[in-house]
Structure 1
Amino acid sequence: MIKKIIRRVLPPCLILIVFGGLAGLLMSTQEAPEQKEDEIPVPIVDVISVTQETASLNLPSYGVVTPKNKTQLVTEVQGRMLAISEKFVAGGIVKRGDKLAEIEPSDYQADLMQAQATLAQAKALLDEEIARGEVAKNDWDGYDSGPAPELGLRVPQLKKEQANVKFAEAALARAQRNLERTIIRAPFDGIIKARNVDLGQYVTLGTNLGELYDTRIAEIRLPLANNELAYLESIDNPDTEVTLSAELAERTVTWVGKIVRSEGVIDAENRMVYLVAEIKDPYLREQKLPGQLPLKYGSFVSAVIKGRTVDGIVKLPRYIVRGNQVAVVRNDNTLEMREVNVVRTDIESVYIKDSLADGERVSLTNINNMSTGQLVKVIGEQDNSNTDTDESKPESTLVAAGEL
């Protein structure tokens, strides 16, 4: 029984002992692996060669298009609306003098006739008084008793009748004006913003009939930060060009206008200064260029105000300037973190002066923890170096083969 147990257990144990000894022998003869230092990869960057240029320090802004002139159409007489023009609707285009509506004129026609009759009567009485004055003068001269008094010559009565004639003439002029006011006319070329009355409605003195916007000139108030005024040619008289743009009919449309004035005060709410731009003929009623669309009132537009012109400007993308520093790649492909003089920034670009020379290379690639003296590889130069290395391999092989 014991022999059977030994015969079953002994072979596996011997096998384990043999393999354990072999493993120990291999581990004792194994050479330690060669230790190599970890190579720090050299960053690869893209660069741009800068060039100084003369640039306009344009100022971006925004605003809403409004009419320069707008008016409330109100009644100067009262009565029932007799007629309303087809043009007198919201969005209707009218010209100066166009008839928009008419108030029942019959009462004012009667007032005019009455004023005419009153004037005729006053003139007749004046003529009669003039004749009486001539008779009184002749009678007084016949007595030959010295200078005649004004009362004897009926001078006061003559002045009274002359005053009555002037009063009647004024009443006639008023009656004529009131009759003319029964017809509501457009005071200038414009577009109807709203109409507030209907046919047959009774209106009183001062009733608001509607609102009219002038289409000859549009205005846009453009806010600017107070420090941005330094980039204009003139702060007090900012007579400069402005380009407006807006999305209309699924495309970007631009218009060219002019800054005509500054409002001259700082807004207490947003601390901004407002410039006022004007666009002539925004609805293209006088002249329409091919592809041009009207600049409708109420449109929100982006504006670019032309600023003063400055020499020696380098324009760079805004994202590569951090803390007024840019990464300059020197001739030995090391970095120089250089402080730059930023004179102007906008949404996309930074304008730098007196900091970069023509031909210097600026990194367009932002690398974390950039520092002066850091070695980099330029994308174009890396490709050239790889090409040179590949071309040298066949030549080295041929030399080796010849030696053999």
Structure 2
Amino acid sequence: MKQLKQIICAGLVLSSALSVQSGFAQGPTPAVETAQVTLSQNDNLARLPGTVISLRDALLSAEISGRLEWLAEVGEHVEKGQTIARIDDHLLKLQLRNDQAQIKRIQADMDYQRRQQQRLSKLLQNNSVAKNELDQVESRIGILQQDLAIAKINAERAQYQLERSQVIAPFSGVIARREMNLGELTQVGSPLLRLVDTQRLEISVNAPLRVARFNQPGTMVAVHRDNQEISTEIRGAVPVGDERSRMMELRLELDDKEWLIGEAVTVELAQAASQQQLSVPRDALVLREQAVYVFRVDADGKAQRVEVKPGAGQGNQISVTGELQSGDTVIVRGAENLKDGQTLKILTASAG
């Protein structure tokens, strides 16, 4: 009888132990958050530095020699056609007056020779003078006509140079730099100041020649500045590379007047043809030394481990290759300690 009681007690203890062990093995159902596998365009992009530049940036020079009398101030905004520099024009005015006096002298001589021609023509009809005298007067008139033409050209040249004593702004902009100071003697071609149009801007970026076929004029690209991103169009491309750098220049349109000339930006340019690839939120990846995988939620609501190979990332998404399909549900929160085949409790679907 005593032996029977011991056997019953042992059975009860064993049953209790198995029940506890079974409870530990099953454990609580883990709560997870999920997101959808999406099909997106995967662009192989190169992030290259660019610079904001002006469409009109000119180093204006003197067209005549002389002493610099006045020059616009650095930082001053000037309009097209406004005087921005003035050179001493005293000698030019004297030269113009001299040329004009020369014209009047020649014209007076021509008037006299024409009256003389008329008188000799009448006398020749009466055989009162020799014909060679009339020929000499007519020859003199021809020479004076050429002298008058030369004098008028000289006067026009003097007038032209006089007008060039004032340097005129070829477009509206801001004086960015002075190259000379007041009182200095200018020579023809001497740089005076730099004029920059701050309203008409674009972006210059040097890119490898291999990206030329993927970035033609009219292509839209992304440009980043600090925390700002804009989408703009490639205005022009110069597919002529330096033999050392193998780089070409691209020009991008920029309509925003708030960007500053010389400002550094980052331009995203395609390096290969765009492809469609599956992408998941970055948080869905479980990273281990031997493998990278995600947990997919199967039709029975259980975790299914799927090994993947991560690719390029963009923002919170990352492209992957593996046995996944667009629309599959993957776990983005609570996947670290999951086991393959484990039953899940789905809390919410993440927007990630």
In the alignment, is residue 122 of structure 1 matched against residue 97 of structure 2?
A: no
The CA distance in 2 between the partners of 1:218 and 1:348, in whole Å, is: 32
One of 349, 353, 357 as aligned partner of 2:325: 357
How big is each residue's C-alpha offset from its partner over 1:86-132, in whole Å with a ceiling of 9 and x where there is no partner?
A: xx222222111222222222211111111111122223333444444
Q: Output aligned runs, 1:254-333, within 5 Å.
A: 257-280=232-255, 283=257, 294-304=258-268, 314-316=278-280, 320=285, 327=294, 329=296, 331=298, 332-333=302-303
Partner of 1:180: 163
Q: Output aligned runs, 1:32-111, within 5 Å.
A: 47-52=34-39, 60-84=47-71, 88-111=72-95
| Residue pair 1:46, 1:378 contacting (<8 A) in 2 also | no
Q: Which amino acid aligns with 2:108?
A: A
- SS of corresponding position for 1:337: strand
Per the TM alignment, residue 267 of structure 1 is displaced from its structure 2 partner at its CA by 4.5
Identity %: 20
Distance 1:269 1:351, change over 3 A: farther
Per the TM alignment, residue 170 of structure 1 is displaced from its structure 2 partner at its CA by 1.1
| Residue pair 1:129, 1:161 contacting (<8 A) in 2 also | no
Q: Which amino acid aligns with 1:192?
A: I
Q: Which amino acid aligns with 2:203?
A: I
| Residue pair 1:79, 1:203 contacting (<8 A) in 2 also | yes
The CA distance in 1 between the partners of 2:79 and 2:88, in whole Å, is: 23
The CA distance in 2 between the partners of 1:64 and 1:258, in whole Å, is: 15
Q: Which has the higher contact order (CA 8 A, sep 6+)?
A: 2
The CA distance in 1 between the partners of 2:241 and 2:230, in whole Å, is: 27
Flag the structure with higher strand content: 2
In the alignment, is residue 220 of structure 1 matched against residue 203 of structure 2?
A: yes
How big is each residue's C-alpha offset from its partner over 1:35-71, in whole Å with a ceiling of 9 and x where there is no partner?
A: x9xx8x9999865312335788877543111222222
The CA distance in 2 between the partners of 1:328 and 1:132, in whole Å, is: 116
The CA distance in 1 between the partners of 2:95 and 2:286, in whole Å, is: 80
Q: Which amino acid aligns with 2:51?
A: V
Q: Which amino acid aligns with 1:48?
A: A
Q: Output aligned runs, 1:122-271, within 5 Å.
A: 122-135=106-119, 152=135, 156-226=139-209, 228-229=211-212, 231-232=214-215, 235=216, 238-247=217-226, 252=227, 257-271=232-246
Q: Output aligned runs, 1:333-372, within 5 Å.
A: 333-338=303-308, 349-350=317-318, 357-362=325-330, 364=332
Distance 1:123 1:312, change over 3 A: same
Distance 1:201 1:128, change over 3 A: same
Distance 1:98 1:130, change over 3 A: same
Q: Which amino acid aligns with 1:101?
A: A
How big is each residue's C-alpha offset from its partner over 1:129-173, in whole Å with a ceiling of 9 and x where there is no partner?
A: 444445555555666xxxx99x83855433322221221111111
Q: Which amino acid aligns with 2:305?
A: L
| Residue pair 1:223, 1:272 contacting (<8 A) in 2 also | yes
How many residue pairs get aligned? The number is 316
Q: Bigger radius of gyration, 1 or 2?
A: 1
| Residue pair 1:240, 1:306 contacting (<8 A) in 2 also | no
- SS of corresponding position for 2:260: coil
- SS of corresponding position for 2:146: helix
Distance 1:358 1:63, change over 3 A: same
Distance 1:363 1:301, change over 3 A: same
Per the TM alignment, residue 261 of structure 1 is displaced from its structure 2 partner at its CA by 0.9
One of 340, 349, 352 as aligned partner of 1:375: 340
Distance 1:253 1:364, change over 3 A: closer
Partner of 2:5: none
The CA distance in 2 between the partners of 1:62 and 1:94, in whole Å, is: 32
* Deviates further, 211-220 or 162-171: 211-220
The CA distance in 2 between the partners of 1:207 and 1:59, in whole Å, is: 42
Distance 1:131 1:379, change over 3 A: farther
| Alignment RMSD (CA, Å) | 4.7
Per the TM alignment, residue 375 of structure 1 is displaced from its structure 2 partner at its CA by 1.4
| Residue pair 2:209, 2:239 contacting (<8 A) in 1 also | no
Distance 1:246 1:207, change over 3 A: same
Distance 1:377 1:211, change over 3 A: farther
Q: Which amino acid aligns with 1:204?
A: Q
| Residue pair 2:30, 2:344 contacting (<8 A) in 1 also | no
Per the TM alignment, residue 380 of structure 1 is displaced from its structure 2 partner at its CA by 4.6
